[in-house]
Structure 1
Amino acid sequence: METYSFLREFADSWALVALTLIFLGVVVWAFRPGSRPLHDAAAASIFRHEMKPADAGRDAPAPSEREA
């Protein structure tokens, strides 16, 4: 059997099954019970430094000094 034919048959059968199982595993892992707090924390992480920007330099006035 040629190498190409063997790899083609393998990709058409067992590799497809393996990749389908990996995909289903990732989907089940993402939607598992108890993962909601992790996803909520990740979604809210962009708002973590809303009052004080994370990249404020040393020369930048504090948020309370800007308002005055």
Structure 2
Amino acid sequence: MTQEGRQLANEWRGIMQAMLSRVEEVLTTQELEQFTVLILKVARAFQDNGSLKPQEKKASSRKITIEE
């Protein structure tokens, strides 16, 4: 990686860490766990060579109460 690329990567790492810190401040532990599961699922969808086929939906859903 070039020096410019390393600099850009470090800049974006800082931005992402700041965003994650803000998310951690506003979510409960349970909400943060669910957020992590969902963000990993989304990331896998984008890493799957662009295949974004709808997945089979589960019969039941679970709601999380969000505290404000």
| Fold shared, TM-score > 0.5 on shorter chain | no
> What is the TM-score when the length of structure 2 is the normalising length?
0.33
Greater relative CO, 1 or 2 (CA 8 Å, sep 6+): 2
